[in-house]
Each structure stands twice: as structure tokens, then as C-alpha cells.
Amino acid sequence: MSQREIGTTEKLVFYEFAWPLLGAVFGVNLYRIILELLAHILLIVVAVVVAIKASGMDDHRSGQHALYAVLGLFLCMGESLLVCHSWWLGDFISRKRLNLLHMVLGIVGLWLGSVGIFLKSIFKSKTREPHFSSKHGLCGLLGLLLFGGTLASGFALMYFTHLALHSPHRLMGLCGFLLLSFSQWFALNLGFARREWSGQSIKWLKIATLGATISVVGYELLCLCGDIVHLLPNIWFKAMGLKIDGLDN
């Protein structure tokens, strides 16, 4: 191979592997990458810690409720929001399969969460204790209802793709996750958490829960703002002298 060919090959390799990364570093995509990675890690960490503790509890009713709730209404719900606009999954699977994964996570999350709330409701009814009277219970119930509305609108979007339906679907999902995250936060103030963890462990769990909430919500808001910008008329940006990628066509 001649020196000219070697030089050409090196330039091609540099362009293929280095330039996309450098472009991400100086663009909004960097923040999306950081937020998504952080969200995945924190969601999994909180879910694993609660699941391990719940599986070894003597109080099986509270343990099952905590297990189903954190896996369904926290982990699956958060992941279903993240996979919609994942910066790396889109390079491996098609958009159709990505939407299918989003739907499967939503269905599994709603089912697990409903089972967890149902089991706790039965126990509360037998002991004649008030249910959904605390901040934890009320936020969990409202979040589950919004989650159900999100899933219903998602099924409708399979047949009627319209902005008037798409926007409420995303907003309900975002608000539902926020309420369910608040419910998870308030659960760490209850007797269940105080019996099972030390004060220092609860503090770290709260930090991880807050970090997961901020990163998931921040990621979804960033994607939502980007979609809104691309829906605005191109002439607006030309009048301001701005050039937005993807709006020049």
C-alpha cells in the first residue's frame, strides 16, 4: 500500500470514529447521553436495592407491595420514557421495535404496579386501616391512574396518529412518573423504610430516587423541547438568523 493510500485510510478512520463523538461533545446530544446513562443507572440501583430488601422481609405483604411497586411503577415506567428517544438504541433496532419496547415496558409496569397496589389494598381492608390517605398512597394512586391514561392513549395512537393525542400521551406519562417518584420518596419516610434501613441508607436512597427523577424528567423534557422546536415554522428561525439541524429541508 502506498503512502498516499495509507494517509487516505487514516483520514477515513478518523472521520468515521472521532468526528461523531466530537460533534456530540459540543452539542445538545452530550447532555442527552449523560442524562440517559445516569437515569438508567439510578433507576436500576434503586430497584435492585428495594427488591433485595423486600425479598428477605418477614412482612411478606409489605415486601410484595414494595417489590411490585418499585419494579413496575418506578423502574418500568422510567425505562418506558427513556427508550422512546434513546440515543443509542435507535442505532440497533428499528423505530417500530423501539415503540414496541416502549409499549411492552408500559404494559408490564402497569400490571406489576396494579398487583402491588391490589395486594396492599386487600391487606388494608382486612385490618380496616384507611388506604390512600397518606401522601405516599395518594401520589401512588394518582400516578397509577395517569399511567393507565397514558397506556390507553398509547393504544389509540396506534390507529390515530395525531398531535392532539400525542401531546397528552407524553404529558400524562411525564406527570404520572413524577407522581410515582414522589410516592417512592414518601415511602422512604414511612415505618417500613425505617424498620428495614438505617438513617444513612434512607438518605442515600432518597438521593438516588431524586437523581433518577431529575434525570428521567430532564431527559424527557429535553426531547420534548426538541420535538416542539422541529414543529415550529422554519421561517421563524430564518427571520431570527438561526440555523437548526433538521429544519433546512
159-172 per-position pLDDT tens digit:
887 777 888 899 99
Task: Give pTM, 2 decimals.
Answer: 0.80
pLDDT of residue 41: 96
pLDDT beyond 90 at 222: no
pLDDT beyond 80 at 127: no
pLDDT of residue 90: 72
Cα gap 118→121, rounded to integer Å: 5
Residue 91, helix vs strand vs coil: helix
Q: DSSP H helical segments within the chain, as ranges?
A: 3-17, 19-25, 29-55, 60-69, 77-83, 95-126, 135-157, 163-187, 191-196, 199-231, 234-240
User: Nearest CA to 226 among 95, 84, 91?
Assistant: 84
pLDDT of residue 217: 93
pLDDT in tens, 32-85: 888 899 999 999 999 999 988 887 776 667 788 889 999 999 999 999 999 988
Cα gap 84→113, rounded to integer Å: 21
